[in-house]
A = this chain, B = another copy of it.
Amino acid sequence: MIARRGVRGLRVGELAAEAGVSTSLIYYHFTDRAGILRRTLEFISDRADRYTAERDPGQGLGPDPVDPRTELAQVLLLELQDTPEVRENSTAWGELRASAVFDADLREDVAKATHTWVHEIADLLAHARPTGTAPAHAAAAERLTALLEGLSVRWLSGSLPLEHARALLADAIEAELDHA
């Protein structure tokens, strides 16, 4: 519902109706409106981890059969796709990030999820570019993920076609890999 209507547009009553339960049952399980946001953040973080891990499910023979550079590009470009699950995750993530600007309760969890994500990308960079230093990998990961977030919200807000966003990100990944 957050992905469809935004955090702004989330109505506890509507959420209950969509789930086919009463409003008070939502409060029983989530305590209050802020609880819904917290649990949504957990949900989309877990789901993003899951579909990142499950990408390319057709192989599975032998360890790490994919070129590390390709793997990095796949993982990042995965977030710029017009499938229901990815679009939903990206939209909700953008909403929670934007809400965190005004919601101190959310800030800490959003920062933590960001940190985890940046770290994952930095690890992939370290495999793709073994000569670089750890701080250089961390900085590149921060640039690439921040760029991805910027492109994502432009896509979702209708300022940038999806394919164009993907091309821009792909070029940035390549540039980071060829740099150091």
Q: Which of A143-180 contact B (CB under 8 A)?
A: 143, 145-151, 153-154, 156-160, 164, 167-168, 171-172, 175, 179
Stretch touching chain B among A3-11, A15-23, A125-133: A3-11
Q: How many copies does the complex hold?
A: 2
Do residues A171 and B154 form an inter-chain contact, with CB atoms below 8 A?
A: no
Stretch touching chain B among A53-61, A62-70, A94-102: A94-102
Mask, A88-117, CB within 8 Å of B = 1, is 000100110111111000011011001100
Question: Does A123 sit at the interface, judged by CB under 8 A?
Answer: no
Q: A102-B8, A157-B110 are in contact. Are A168 and B150 (CB under 8 A)?
A: no
Report the interface size for chain A: residues with CB under 8 A from the other chain. 44
Q: State the Cβ distance, A148 to closest chain B Cβ, in Å.
A: 7
Do residues B153 and A139 form an inter-chain contact, with CB atoms below 8 A?
A: no
Do residues B143 and A147 form an inter-chain contact, with CB atoms below 8 A?
A: yes
Q: State which of B101, B158, B172 has its C-beta within 8 Å of the C-beta of A111.
A: B158
Q: State the Cβ distance, A1 to closest chain B Cβ, in Å.
A: 12
Do residues B159 and A114 form an inter-chain contact, with CB atoms below 8 A?
A: yes
How far apart sit A175 and B143, CA to CA, in the bound complex (Å)? 12
Q: A158-B107, A160-B142, A168-B143 are in contact. Are A102 and B153 (CB under 8 A)?
A: no
A-B contacts, 13 of them at CB < 8 A, read: A5-B102, A9-B102, A94-B98, A97-B154, A97-B159, A110-B157, A110-B159, A111-B157, A143-B147, A143-B171, A146-B154, A147-B150, A149-B153
